[in-house]
Structure 1
Amino acid sequence: MSLPPGPAAPAPGNLPPESPLAMPVQTLAAGTLRSPPFPTRPPNMRWRRFAVIGSAVSVTLFAAYQIWWLLRGNGIDPLEGTLLVLFVLLFAWIVQAFVGAVAGFVLVLQKRPARLGIRPRDPLPALVSRTALLMPIYNEEPGRLMAGLQAMHESLAATGRLGHFDFFVLSDTRRPQLQQEERAAFAALRARLGAEARVHYRLRDDNSERKAGNISDWVRRWGGAYPQFLILDADSLMTGDTLVRLAAAMQGHDDVALIQTLPVIVNGSTLFARMQQFAGRVYGPVIAYGVAWWHGAESNYWGHNAMIRTRAFAECAGLPELRGVKPFAGTVLSHDFVEAALLRRGGWALHMIPALAGSYEEGPPSLTDMLVRDRRWCQGNLQHGAVLPARGLHWVSRWHLLIGIGHYFTAPMWAMLMIVGIAIPLLHAGFSFGQVSLEGFTPAGYWREQDEDRFLGVFALTMSMLLSPKLMGWLATMVDPVMRRGCGGALRSAAGVLLETLLAALMAPVTMYVQSRGVAEVLAGRDSGWESQRRDDGSLPLRELLRLYGGMTLFGIGAGLAAWMVSPALAAWLAPVVLGLVLSIPIVALGASRAAGAWLRRHRVFATPEELAPPDVLVRANALRAAPSRD
């Protein structure tokens, strides 16, 4: 389509000739799983999955038996039965993550080569096919986007393979002023890149189906000219070397439809952003390697920084409108998980390659921004409940969908477990609402009385499984000299792990509260909307902080006072949760502070290799963003 007229519209003809490709809408009510032999399937997949799931089930049953023993004294009443069910579900969630992390820890230490013949240290492979790099955008800051795109364009040019790639900026922006700014920024980008510019811009008239519709529109209009494409988020950066290796891996393996990289979080300036990028860099590889090990050719898709086979996507991933009641009905919001499931149903392999570096993204600058984004993801993931019964899905694909749904239900489940875990001892102590206090009462004391060794054993097991992935990530970092130096050395990285754990514990009650409220809102039919994200500044004025977190603060104060009235020991037992709620405003404000982030950076706490020795593409993108004229 031609661009709308504007004072700074790019030169006519910047879009290539259309090459239509049919992309039929799929049905969830019918479908057959195709499972041809995948040459790229890792060996012994049944044993790998049995090891992970079997170990998780075994440990969960062991812990469930211990809790049952604590409860069995006078028979299990409905409240105790509720506690047992909640514990089993939440413990199973923890232990599966732990077992996967153990597998990932072993793999990281072994330093096995990446799948699909990707060898990052080998010379760059030759390319024979064209790849489209798609950047779907919605109400983003144009100059910032074009700076990142220019850095990737130049990085590809340095590989000598630029001629095999085309960039498409796919705009869904609705604000007229911002549309004009996008066109102006794009025209300036083309002028800077000169004759070798391989960039195109398209603004949709109708932004139906949001991001998924933006991508499918491109597939139906230009997909026939590109055997593969890669989706970039507005905050994505990838090196030319990585893009070339991904394209070569796709063209060399005909059974593969998707190759997902492990994006590393960069450019964090606030305390919260730097905490997130440190956690992702230290703990992320252990988790990702473990997931890739047992998912095999049924890996998931995270919506960006992944290479996709165009024909497979067109044949299998046309998303239907979901039926039912809103907000579950309508356009698929978290489209990536569903597209991955449909690709696998269609007989295609999907792989995650965490060993391939050169893939980057940015994290939210504050806890508030993360929770806003999380609210949208909450609705999208809960919406997958309508996709779970789809015919023909692979069981691992259903597992991915369940994990996405379960992620948001864990918050209210933890809250319920805590409430029930207090209510049972209170009732056994003879508490009633007419009785204000119970001197010396503490839930931990009640549970220890049932069987102290079992209670302490289950508590220790649970906490060790929660914290072990952090420890394994730190140990894996320590045995890699490059990573160890890049994370500030052994002592500073250990301090970073301890500080991150403390801050995460203080933020956990806030997250639990907001996620629980979000689940309730989704179930009540309240839509999350579709807003652009803040990228750099996460600060909020005090008035806005009071609006967002004042009720939470008052709730925490009320809960603390109520617990104190019952027993000071109960208040002490609840202190970690109550403190997180009461201090929510200063905690959020501190996390959004650039000054606190800068202080930690000067002392190399929460350091990452990409911060201390940034890759060229990141240096170039940041320099372009900082330049007033962006030249």
Structure 2
Amino acid sequence: MDTVADQPGTDTPTLSRERPDLRPALPEENPLSMPIQSLSKWSRAEERSWIHPALHHGSWAIRLFVFGGMVLLTAFGAWEMYKVVEVGGVTLLEWALVCLFVLNFSWIALAFTAAIAGFVYLLFHRRITQPLPPQLASRTAVLMPIYNEAPSRVFAAMQAIIESVEQTGLGKAFDYFFVSDTTDPNVWIAEERAFVAMRERLGPNVALWYRHRQRNTNRKAGNIADWVTRWGGSYDHMLVLDADSLMTGSAITQLAAAMERDPDAGIIQTLPLIINRNTLFARIQQFAARVYGPVIAEGLSLWMGHDGNYWGHNAIIRTKAFAAHCGMPDLSGKPPFGGHILSHDFVEAALIRRAGYAVYMLNDVTGSYEESPPSLIDLSARDRRWCQGNLQHTRVMGAKGFHPCTRQHFANGIFSYLASPLWLLQLLVGLTIALQAHFIRREYFTDEFSLFPAWPVFNAELALALFGGTMGILLAPKFFGIIIMLLDGPNRRASGGGIRLVLSGLIEIFLSALLAPVMMLIQSGSVFEILVGRDSGWKPQRRDDGSIPFRDIVKRHRSHTILGLFAGVAAYVISPYLFTWMSPTIIGLLLAIPLSWASGQLSIGLWLRRHGFLATPEETHPPEVATRANALSEELAAAGEDDSDAIEVVYHDADFRALHETMLPTAPLRERGRFEQDRVMAQAKIAEAVSIEEAVKWLNPKERFVALHDHSLIESLSRLHEQTTAQEPA
């Protein structure tokens, strides 16, 4: 009998012939039209009016404080910088230095004024845990988009979420969808097996569904759009997760209730906290997000009001409004600036706000979590894609009808990456000025009449004061976050106590300062690649803790180390004072290789954890949903199905093979005379093979993917089994 036995030592059942699940993998379709939106045409007549205007009062006072304060602070910084360089006259290079300083300073000034607003608000407004809604009248679909992720992780997370929602007593208001764009055939088949097993565990009362796309057109945006246009009509709201998302039942039901209370809301975003991280780099990010994040997020929430942004996950969306107004257009030309819009979430928020729906954040809704990359190199790989998406917004932010706050969100995202090359240029210009002053002969008397010589001169005392003030403004949001945590007794104690909390903050600031110049060069390189037309592609993110081979680290950072060595020698030759001023940047670059190596080390992160450093309340007292997800993930991983060979699974398990075929989409009719190379090769190899071992050996991943989508080729594989049996000696 073909049976995949239950793994010993776990309660995770797998499929057997005695227990086939004959329920369809998907509900009946209920399509919504999702027209493509124009970025060049828009009439105010198309914007809906608020149903409850009182719920969406303006945030003009806060915006005046945040942006007005930024302008005044930037003007003061510009004046101080001018006084630093104006001694003896201002040269062309010094004017360039002033302009670059003003651009960079304005960026940190805006973060500073917004953080002040968030800090003051949190000082006087304690968050109150919201009660669960007594009932929900609407239906919400919880979507988990996945792309070549380990099934044991994402299915465990979804089951933990479902169980948490069920505990609220409001589970009947929710359906759950895995919407897969997976291209790895082994992962795809593992997803289907995990889906069937999860249905068996949860029983028939949970509405759990699975859909796999053969062609992942337009990536995640296309994945969500496919769901909306096929099943969106059945659901009032959709709550979009990411593959590393976790949310409590309380958070999910509160978001659904908030949508019901506010018919003007289009998107309601939460602030996800980072959890489950153990490497040094990930723990730094986890600590920073937990301690500084609430101050920064509160400031952002205050000034953006109901004209907010969307970060692509852990948010609830009004389905019909999204379908009507968020059809994603393609940009003319080729990537990286043309083609599919990579960072679609910003644009979706802009489009739904343009249509007259509110977009805002509910910081009082707790229980929203995510994970982060485990090392500096993993972050830079993800950051490369985000950089391209944000720079692509230069072609979107000027679209017709967008709210001014929407344009500011785009500007923030763009400048978050342009800041690195601008900082690099500022350093290079400063170094050039110092070289000029040191090596070029000073002309005391030029051809033009002047009472003073013309060469670069700095006011050292003012320069030092300006540097100190800039650093204070840059670090202030971090100190604000630490103060808020110190004043919160339960969170302070859960973070290791006041002394450990302060020391953890100093560790984070020190390590972030060393990593900052390395990230500056990485992001500057990303910007350069995009400007010369290199596309980022789309690769799955590495989520597990673990180190990267040392030779790969050396290869990635050797240029940063060489540049740091050159800058250090040049600065010291010019002046020991210049070397001292540039030492944070120089040291960070010289240590790029060991820092990057250390960033991905579990041992260092776990040592800090054992001694109570970089601790967060969610680490000290893990949320129940995270504990449950981690335990389930270990159980599912122990079953070994993540690593099973897809062809062998379909070959050996007739019950699963039958269910797999029921989950396949209807294949489009092939045009006569046109042949897909991968299918032709798969068909030929299967026909040639005399054993399953040969088929497994000969089929490459693309051919396996095509074969497992094709009923006739699956049948050929099953006949191969019969032929092999027939050839066995009696």
TM-score of the superposed pair, with normalisation by structure 1:
0.93
Q: Distance in 1 between matches of 2:373 and 2:437?
A: 45
Q: Identify which of 10, 30, 51 aligns with 2:41.
A: 30
Q: Distance in 2 between matches of 1:580 and 1:610?
A: 31
1:15 aligns to 2:62 (yes or no): no
1:387 aligns to 2:396 (yes or no): yes
User: What is the deviation of 1:554?
Assistant: 2.3
Q: 1:359 to 1:562 in 2, by over 3 A?
A: same
1:103 aligns to 2:117 (yes or no): yes
Write out aligned runs for 1:197-236 (5 A).
197-236=206-245
Q: Distance in 2 between matches of 1:74 and 1:222?
A: 71
Q: Quick check: 2:435–2:574 contact (8 Å CA) kept in 1?
A: no
Aligned residue type for 1:154? E
Write out aligned runs for 1:535-550 (5 A).
535-550=543-558
Q: Which residue of 1 aligns with 2:490?
A: 482
Q: Which residue of 2 aligns with 1:326?
A: 335
Q: 1:15 to 1:414 in 2, by over 3 A?
A: same
Secondary structure at the aligned position of 2:154 is classed as helix
Q: Distance in 2 between matches of 1:384 and 1:44?
A: 26
Aligned residue type for 2:135? A
Q: Quick check: 1:556–1:581 contact (8 Å CA) kept in 2?
A: yes
Q: Which residue of 2 aligns with 1:299?
A: 308
Q: Distance in 2 between matches of 1:60 and 1:603?
A: 41
Secondary structure at the aligned position of 2:203 is classed as helix
Q: Quick check: 2:132–2:250 contact (8 Å CA) kept in 1?
A: no
Q: Quick check: 1:368–1:538 contact (8 Å CA) kept in 2?
A: no
Q: Which residue of 1 aligns with 2:417?
A: 408
Q: Distance in 2 between matches of 1:567 and 1:450?
A: 13
**Post-superposition CA distance 1:242-282 (Å, at most 9, x none):** 10010011011111101100000000011111111111000
Q: Quick check: 1:267–1:611 contact (8 Å CA) kept in 2?
A: yes
**Post-superposition CA distance 1:45-76 (Å, at most 9, x none):** 22221111111101111111122233334543
Secondary structure at the aligned position of 1:167 is classed as strand
Q: Distance in 1 between matches of 2:28 and 2:48?
A: 36
Q: Which residue of 1 aligns with 2:611?
A: 603
Q: Which residue of 1 aligns with 2:574?
A: 566
Q: Quick check: 1:411–1:513 contact (8 Å CA) kept in 2?
A: yes
Q: Distance in 1 between matches of 2:216 and 2:165?
A: 30
TM-score of the superposed pair, with normalisation by structure 2:
0.80
Larger radius of gyration: 2
Q: Quick check: 2:133–2:257 contact (8 Å CA) kept in 1?
A: no
Q: Quick check: 1:161–1:244 contact (8 Å CA) kept in 2?
A: yes
Q: Which moved more, 1:45-54 or 1:373-382?
A: 45-54
Number of residue equivalences: 606
Q: Distance in 1 between matches of 2:396 and 2:214?
A: 29
Q: Identify which of 166, 169, 176 aligns with 1:160.
A: 169
**Post-superposition CA distance 1:108-147 (Å, at most 9, x none):** 112256xxxxx63424331011100001111100111100
Q: Identify which of 246, 251, 261 aligns with 2:270.
A: 261
Q: Distance in 2 between matches of 1:44 and 1:344?
A: 14
Q: Quick check: 1:10–1:183 contact (8 Å CA) kept in 2?
A: no
1:144 aligns to 2:158 (yes or no): no
Q: Which residue of 1 aligns with 2:661?
A: none
**Post-superposition CA distance 1:217-249 (Å, at most 9, x none):** 100000000010111100000000110010011
Q: Distance in 1 between matches of 2:197 and 2:116?
A: 49
Aligned residue type for 1:374? D
User: What is the deviation of 1:196?
Assistant: 2.2
User: What is the deviation of 1:175?
Assistant: 1.3
Q: Quick check: 2:503–2:613 contact (8 Å CA) kept in 1?
A: yes
1:466 aligns to 2:485 (yes or no): no
Secondary structure at the aligned position of 2:459 is classed as helix
Aligned residue type for 2:547? S
Q: Identify which of 171, 180, 187 aligns with 2:189.
A: 180
Indicate the RMSD between aligned Cα atoms, in angstroms: 2.0
Q: Distance in 2 between matches of 1:42 and 1:557?
A: 55
Q: Which residue of 2 aligns with 1:371?
A: 380
Aligned residue type for 1:166? D
Q: 1:625 to 1:78 in 2, by over 3 A?
A: same
Aligned residue type for 1:173? T
Q: Which residue of 2 aligns with 1:50?
A: 64
Q: Which residue of 1 aligns with 2:599?
A: 591
Q: Which moved more, 1:319-328 or 1:499-508?
A: 319-328
Q: Identify which of 326, 344, 360 aligns with 2:353.
A: 344
Aligned residue type for 1:36? S
Q: Which residue of 2 aligns with 1:239?
A: 248
Q: Which moved more, 1:450-459 or 1:128-137?
A: 450-459
Q: 1:579 to 1:40 in 2, by over 3 A?
A: farther
Q: Quick check: 1:11–1:187 contact (8 Å CA) kept in 2?
A: no
**Post-superposition CA distance 1:281-319 (Å, at most 9, x none):** 000000000100010000110000001000111111111
**Post-superposition CA distance 1:327-352 (Å, at most 9, x none):** 10000000010110111100111111
Q: Quick check: 2:375–2:600 contact (8 Å CA) kept in 1?
A: yes
Q: Distance in 1 between matches of 2:597 and 2:22?
A: 45
Q: Which residue of 2 aligns with 1:440?
A: none
1:282 aligns to 2:277 (yes or no): no
Q: Quick check: 1:257–1:349 contact (8 Å CA) kept in 2?
A: yes
Q: 1:16 to 1:493 in 2, by over 3 A?
A: same
Q: Quick check: 2:85–2:459 contact (8 Å CA) kept in 1?
A: no
Secondary structure at the aligned position of 1:128 is classed as coil
Q: Which residue of 1 aligns with 2:136?
A: 127
Q: Quick check: 1:552–1:584 contact (8 Å CA) kept in 2?
A: yes
Q: Quick check: 1:134–1:167 contact (8 Å CA) kept in 2?
A: yes
Secondary structure at the aligned position of 2:615 is classed as coil
Among all aligned residue pairs of Structure 1 and Structure 2, give the percentage whose two residues are the same amino acid.
47
Q: Distance in 2 between matches of 1:342 and 1:42?
A: 18
Q: Which residue of 2 aligns with 1:248?
A: 257
Q: Quick check: 2:343–2:389 contact (8 Å CA) kept in 1?
A: yes
Aligned residue type for 1:150? Q
Q: Distance in 1 between matches of 2:245 and 2:458?
A: 53
Secondary structure at the aligned position of 1:196 is classed as coil
Secondary structure at the aligned position of 1:307 is classed as strand
Q: Distance in 1 between matches of 2:459 and 2:579?
A: 23
**Post-superposition CA distance 1:156-185 (Å, at most 9, x none):** 111111111011100001111211111111
Write out aligned runs for 1:74-93 (5 A).
74-93=88-107
**Post-superposition CA distance 1:431-477 (Å, at most 9, x none):** 48xxxxxxxxxxxxx99x64345323322221111111111000000
Q: Quick check: 1:10–1:184 contact (8 Å CA) kept in 2?
A: no
Aligned residue type for 2:602? R
Q: Which residue of 1 aligns with 2:530?
A: 522
User: What is the deviation of 1:501?
Assistant: 0.4
User: What is the deviation of 1:407?
Assistant: 0.5
